[in-house]
Amino acid sequence: MHENALRFETRDPPGSSGCLLAGLGLVCFLALRTSPAAALALALALAGAVAHLPAVTAFYPGRGGLGLLSAASALPLLMYAPAVLAVPTPALRWFWLGSYLLAAAVAPALAQRGWSSRMAARRVREAPVEVLSELVLAEASGRGWLRLSPAHALVAAERLLLVGNGRAAEEIVDRLVGSCVVDGEPDRLGRRIRRLRSLRDLLQGEAARAIAQVEPLLAGKLDMEEGRQYRAWCAYLALAAGEPERAAALADQAIGPHPLAGEEWQVHCRSLQAWALVEAGKPGEAAELARLQAAGMRPEAPGLGPLRAIQAWAELRAGNRDAAAAWLRADGGGGSAGPDSFLLSLGAEMAWAMGEPGRARELAQAAVRCAVPGFPRCHAARLAAALTPDPTGAL
């Protein structure tokens, strides 16, 4: 739950669509295969195929290898050149020769541009964080060979911030992104920078300052997707700042139109809302909300684990110990995708409340080990209490 909230869901910046280029080139080749234009279509198809390679393989050919791959897109032009030279009409012959020369320059450039852009997106998301800062700053100084856009740089900065390397994240933002302001208001990248800095403030324990960074954006110009994500983020910040009523309202608004929200997004927002209701002293209402949301969902639906955990936690707060006991027996913080700090911390609290101090200590320690930095205050306080031995020495 914490991990899902902290890792802002962003779409990769649009780049050259290698798959589209390859498909268009293939269709044109089939339509023009008896004409000299067939070579132009094949060159386009090969350029698109090279540009699309990073989507299917993590192979890094190096600068020289990329140059050879890109140049390969011009091979069809070389193969068809004798046929063009044999065209009897001089004007037509020179027209095709000029077209071939132009294509020989454009096709490799398209291939290299598309490949570099897609590989940049893949590298910033998959490269080990230990080398991520060096990789990004090398690109910024011109020593690299990937097309690193400001949006790619922000993804890298977010990853670095989540492992506590705030200085490197700030350096990347300052050198590669800039202020990103249009007509006095932050543009899309500028809003991402605000969100990034609010994440930095949260991880430093300044939840109120984090909210002040991003809340003004809600009154600005946002598309529907941005509006949903920023409201959900503000709901999470309000929970961390100890303002559950405000968090519950923001989480409800973040869902947006239900037919467009998608199952995973609805579950995430309802989990935030139910969590806020428990914090606000309304466990019965929270349990009912979680129960209704989970009722029509597939058992393997993404995000269902945190929602079930919040439901059991709310039931325990409302006096139903059986629901908490059943959840602890069935899951207790594991989850199908591996340990989850939120589930583990809830499990620790439920085990503590049900008189199982040994289990509570085990789950709490596991939660601390797998948690991202900057555990939200409203949950960290209880987790710290569960880790502190009581006067009888039971825990």
Band (166; pLDDT cuts 50, 70, 90): confident
Query: Which two tokens mark 162?
Result: 């989540």
For the chain, percent helix, then strand, then coil, each to nearest 5?
75, 0, 25
Scored b (16 or more CB within 10 A) or e, 10-20 reads bebbebbebee
Band (146; pLDDT cuts 50, 70, 90): low
Quick: pLDDT tens for 27-43: 776 777 777 888 888 88
Are residues 196 and 157 in contact, defined by beta-carbon separation less than 8 angstroms?
yes
Q: What is the pTM of this model?
A: 0.69
Q: For residue 286, what pLDDT is reported? A: 92
Q: Which of 13-22, 182-191, 224-233, 362-371 has the lowest mean pLDDT?
A: 13-22
**Dist CA 193 CA 188 (whole Å):** 9
Nearest to 223 by CA among 191, 271, 252: 191
